[in-house]
Chain A
Amino acid sequence: EADIYQTPRYLVIGTGKKITLECSQTMGHDKMYWYQQDPGMELHLIHYSYGVNSTEKGDLSSESTVSRIRTEHFPLTLESARPSHTSQYLCASSEQPGVGSEAFFGQGTRLTVV
């Protein structure tokens, strides 16, 4: 069982609201990732972190922001939610994928902005 958790699992929120999606892992992994995925579709990397106080933007431009103050915690924030942000957001963590380390994924947060 992967020790990576996302909350909430489902969120329906009105346009203009500020939201934070939580992601926590207990494996001590330095690398953490946020992916955006429409149901049954490809994964788009939107943010990643190599460790505490390190964050980078991913391949897909996103209006969200992230922070990495603690190794185990990698929250994603949307300052003003819009219907175009409706999607599934997946969090993942790993050691060094370049040497074969497995990435562990959370169960995802399904966000709907109305």
Chain B
Amino acid sequence: AQTVTQSQPEMSVQEAETVTLSCTYDTSESDYYLFWYKQPPSRQMILVIRQEAYKQQNATENRFSVNFQKAAKSFSLKISDSQLGDAAMYFCAYAGNTGTASKLTFGTGTRLQVTL
């Protein structure tokens, strides 16, 4: 079974600074997707960024980028120029490309605080 591990329960970053959230996963599959989801306080979970395992280039979405190390099974999220609105729980997730049987497996989450 696939597992997703987030070893940082809480992180803190100052506004305008950069922070990196860690995620490792375990799988025997070769074709899969990785995701970072954001859950703001009392608001809906939303997708931040996704990465296909076959793509060597790291995904980027504005201030959010990933460092995908397939051999090491590592998928970290970098937030640049942090803003107060970035404060949230961040969940790393994995989905194997197993057709109709594919489903999301989430990590335990990292709570990010953004300070002035």
Residue positions of A touching B, CB distance < 8 A: 2, 30-31, 33, 35, 40-43, 45, 48, 50-51, 59, 90, 92, 94, 96-100, 102-103, 105-108
Contact = CB atoms under 8 A, between A and B. Distances in A.
Nearest to A54: B100
12 contacts: A30-B100, A33-B103, A42-B106, A51-B100, A96-B102, A97-B93, A98-B33, A98-B97, A99-B33, A102-B35, A103-B47, A105-B46
A110 to B, nearest CB: 10
Contact of B103 (A2, A45, A108): A45
Interface stretch (B11-19, B63-71, B73-81, B107-115): B107-115
B30 to A, nearest CB: 12
Interface of B: 31-33, 35, 37, 43-47, 50, 52, 89, 91, 93, 95-109, 111
A33 B106 CA distance: 12
Contacts of A99: 33, 97, 102
B99 A94 contact: no
A108 to B, nearest CB: 8
**What 7 pairs across the A-B complex have the smallest Cβ distances?**
A98-B102, A97-B95, A98-B97, A105-B45, A42-B108, A100-B33, A102-B47
Given A33-B104, A42-B108, A50-B101, A98 B96 contact: yes
Nearest to A58: B103
A103 B36 CA distance: 11
A64 B98 CA distance: 27
Given A99-B33, A100-B52, A43 B91 contact: yes
Contacts of A30: 100
B100 A50 contact: yes
Contacts of B107: 42
A30 B74 CA distance: 30
Nearest to A41: B109
